[in-house]
Amino acid sequence: MAGGGGPRRCRRLEAEAARAVLAATDTLLFDCDGVLWRGEAAVSGAAAALGRLAAAGKRLCYVTNNSSRTRAAYTEKLRRLGFPPAETRNVFGSAYCAARYLRQALPPGAAAYVLGSPALAAELEAVGIPHLGPGPAALPGPAPADWAQAPLDPAVRAVLVGFDEHFSYAKLCQALRYLLRGGTDCLLVGTNRDNRLPLEGGAAIPGTGCLVKAVETAAQREAFIVGKPNRYMFDCVASEFNIDPARTIMVGDRLDTDILMGNSCGLTTLLTLTGVSTLDEVRGHQDSDCPTRQSLVPDYYVDSISDLLSALGE
């Protein structure tokens, strides 16, 4: 890691330095949207850069807070956009990591009430966790007394909150009732705390963090978050592969998720300027004496992943 003692300083990763950094690296963890692609279009040169990294023997893994796609869907998108072939075991989405966490934390046969997408449900099914909740839901009657008496599944021992386009008051009521019934024996888990999802043209939509906060507020308790910047996602990668943090780079476009997780886990951190965070934000944090803001400063930055091509022999 380039930080060392004292305030962290972020440097542009020029070709000579990039060669030295990559020579000391075995594994690269990539965020996806904003780093490798924007929407359905690959970032120019990103596929070529990852192809050269793979040819150089580097392990490539993909870590994303997006809970609306399965690992299989990510491997297919990587293929479709021309990236090196990836196995599903190299993809660590928040849906998969949430399913992995619940498989370890729940007793056999316990079910989850899910505020989330079909992809989140599919990852639960893949590890054998029964679930209910995905899709639209209506209030079970005209009055609050009806809402408070709707049937509850006796097997539910966890409430899992991911991105849910059908999020509603009815679902919030049901989630709260499961949490009140089970108390601390009913787990509250969120896939991530991303509060806003940027779209092309400067637009944005509310992110999963807004939904997690609604359930936390109703239940008056805090969720366990599996996604970045929580280190649980990195722990999932480390348990699958023999990862040496000192020889691993976290590549991302968001300071508050990608870079914070990488710094917290002792990884070298590389910010790409093709997504959310800006160099002005980096400068604002590195000029601060606040340790919390310093933890958001990456070791290096590039304009785009394609900048690495010059260090890779192109």
Q: Which residues are annotated as a binding site?
A: 31, 33, 228, 253
How many residues in the chain? 314
Give the orientation angle of helix 118-126 with respect to helix 94-105, to 10 degrees.
40
- Nearest alpha-carbon partner for 186 in 173, 175, 197, 198: 175
Q: How far apart are CA 81 and CA 46, in angstroms?
A: 10
The catalytic position among 31, 194, 256, 307 is 31
Longest Cα–Cα distance of the chain, Å, equals 69
3-state helix, strand, coil in the chain (%, to 5): 40, 20, 40
Residues 6 or more apart in contact with residue 297 via CB below 8 angstroms: 3, 7, 8, 9, 10, 255, 259, 263, 282, 285, 286
- Nearest alpha-carbon partner for 241 in 83, 23, 60: 60
Reduced to 3 states (helix: H, G, I; strand: E, B; else coil), residue 188 is strand
Instruction: Tell which phi-psi region holds residue 34, choosing left (phi > 0), alpha (psi between -120 and 50) or beta.
Output: left
The catalytic position among 26, 33, 164, 303 is 33
Is 33 a known active-site residue?
yes
Residues in the annotated binding site for substrate: 228
Residues in the annotated binding site for Mg(2+): 31, 33, 253
Is 31 a known active-site residue?
yes
Residue 70, number of CB atoms within 10 A of its CB: 23
Reduced to 3 states (helix: H, G, I; strand: E, B; else coil), residue 198 is strand
Whether the CB-CB separation of 189 and 161 falls below 8 Å is answered with yes
Provide the annotated active-site residues.
31, 33
